[in-house]
């Protein structure tokens, strides 16, 4: 929905997409992802023939694309990756391990981040398309999660995986900025706004339950303590959470 209209996307801005994601929080996250969310942002940097091979088919839904950024020693610190891509003729040879990769066993191709120039630090990271079936590229194991069980998360192993120059995404050395621009937007919508939607749904379920559940001959929603809990949850905001916690302690002390 956020991709430009000229490639078949919806052309929505950040605020609009966050409003949509908030509503998506009311339903199955896996279902929503299958419907319109399984396109990692860096793919927008496709150039030339890559647009026909990867970008346009991904937006149409003809292929599924994964994002291989996280590693055992590099989560939030995306610049700490150890996967390498060394030049070999006109192409590269990639070695490394990625984990917690959403749908790593389901997608047709994965955008892999790798260090191409260790002397340049964060500016020495590039991204590559690695297609399923490429020799040396395999799913090492499925990593089971506590939540989001409708989506697989996998450890990917890359052992002497050879890719050609046409599989470099965008410019060499631009990989980290590509990844982070997508991650920042996803944290707003796919994580933050959708979490607001999930919390809203939970509050609605709790409110309905308070009207149905009866104790001492009347719905528990008629008890002041239950009303207070629901009201607090409705008014709670991240920036004033400390005040709520202080208020909770004050009420406990006075009790």
> Based on the domain organization, do 53 and 155 belong to the same domain?
yes
115 and 23 belong to one structural domain: yes
State whether 181 and 194 are in the same domain: no
In terms of domains, do 94 and 195 share one? no
Q: Are residues 209 and 115 in the same domain?
A: no
Question: Which segments of 81-164 are extended strands (E)?
Answer: 84-88, 91-102, 109-115, 125-131, 137-142, 153-163
Q: Does any domain span residue 111?
A: yes
The verdict on residue 30 lying in a domain is yes
CA 133 to chain CA centroid, nearest Å: 24
Give the span between the Cα atoms of 84 and 125, in whole angstroms: 9
Does 243 have pLDDT greater than 50? Answer: no
User: Does any domain span residue 254?
Assistant: no
Q: Region 28-37: what's the mean pLDDT?
A: 62
Other beta carbons within 10 angstroms of residue 27's beta carbon come to: 13
What does pTM read for this prediction? 0.80
DSSP annotation of 44 reads G
Please state, rounded to an integer, the average pLDDT across all residues of the chain. Answer: 86
The domain of 229 spans 187-247
Share of the chain above pLDDT 70, in %: 88
Closest CA to 209 of 229, 189, 188, 236: 229
Q: Is 255 among the domain residues?
A: no
Cα 162 to Cα 112: distance, rounded to the nearest angstrom: 13
Whether 252 maps to a domain, the answer reads: no
Show which of 166, 185, 204 is a domain's final residue. 185
Question: In the chain, how many domains are there?
Answer: 2
| β partners of residue 157 | 97, 138
Q: Are residues 141 and 15 in the same domain?
A: yes
> What pLDDT is attached to residue 36?
58
Residue 13's pLDDT is 86
Domain boundary residue among 139, 168, 185? 185
Residue ending a domain, among 185, 207, 234, is 185
Quote the CA–CA distance of 21 and 5 in Å, as a whole number.
19
**3-class DSSP assignment, residue 207:** helix
168 plus 67 within the same structural domain = yes
On whether residue 104 sits in a domain, the answer given is yes
Q: Note whether 223 and 113 are same-domain residues.
A: no
Banded model confidence at residue 33, pLDDT cuts 50, 70, 90: low
Domain check: are 76 and 158 in the same one? yes
Q: pLDDT value at position 255?
A: 33
Cβ proximity of 55 and 44 under 8 Å: yes
pLDDT-wise least confident of 72-81, 133-142, 191-200: 72-81
Interval 106-144: pLDDT, tens = 899 999 999 999 999 889 999 999 999 999 999 999 988
Q: Judge whether 113 and 78 are in contact, CB under 8 Å.
A: yes
Q: At what angle do helices 194-212 and 14-24 cross, to 10 degrees?
A: 30
Q: Residue 55 sits in a domain of what CATH number?
A: 2.40.110.10
How far is 198 from 229, CA to CA, in rounded Å?
18
Residues 153 and 200 in one domain: no
- Residue-level pLDDT at 136: 97
With beta carbons less than 8 A apart as the criterion, state whether 46 and 55 touch: yes
Residue 221 lies in a domain: yes
Lookup result for tokens 């959708």: 194
Residue 136 and residue 196 in one domain: no
pLDDT in tens, 143-163: 888 877 777 889 999 999 999
The whole-angstrom separation of Cα 14 and Cα 189 is: 8
Nearest by Cα to 238 from 195, 203, 175: 195
Same domain, 157 and 32: yes
């Amino acid at each position: 929905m956020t991709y430009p209209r000229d490639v078949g996307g919806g052309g929505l801005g950040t605020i609009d997409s966050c409003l949509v994601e908030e509503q998506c929080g009311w339903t199955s996250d896996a279902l929503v992802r299958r419907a319109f969310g399984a396109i990692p942002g860096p793919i927008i940097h496709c150039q030339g023939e890559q647009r026909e091979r990867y970008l346009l088919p991904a937006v149409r839904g003809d292929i599924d694309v994964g994002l291989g950024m996280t590693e055992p020693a590099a989560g939030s610190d995306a610049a700490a990756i150890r996967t390498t891509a060394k030049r070999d003729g006109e192409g590269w040879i990639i070695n490394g391990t990625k984990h917690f990769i959403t749908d790593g066993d389901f997608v047709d191709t994965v955008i892999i981040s790798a260090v191409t120039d260790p002397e340049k630090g964060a500016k020495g990271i590039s991204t590559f398309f690695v297609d399923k079936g490429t020799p040396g590229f395999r799913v090492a194991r499925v990593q089971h999660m506590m939540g989001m069980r409708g989506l697989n998360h996998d450890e990917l192993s890359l052992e002497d995986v050879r890719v050609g120059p046409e599989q470099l995404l965008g410019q060499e050395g631009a990989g980290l900025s590509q990844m982070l621009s997508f991650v920042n937007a996803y944290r707003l919508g796919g994580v933050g706004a959708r979490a607001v939607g999930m919390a809203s749904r939970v509050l609605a379920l709790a409110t309905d339950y308070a009207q149905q559940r009866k104790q001492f001959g009347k719905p528990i929603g008629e008890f002041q303590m239950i009303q207070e809990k629901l009201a607090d949850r409705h008014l709670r905001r991240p920036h004033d959470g400390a005040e709520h916690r202080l208020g909770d302690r004050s009420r406990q002390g006075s009790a």
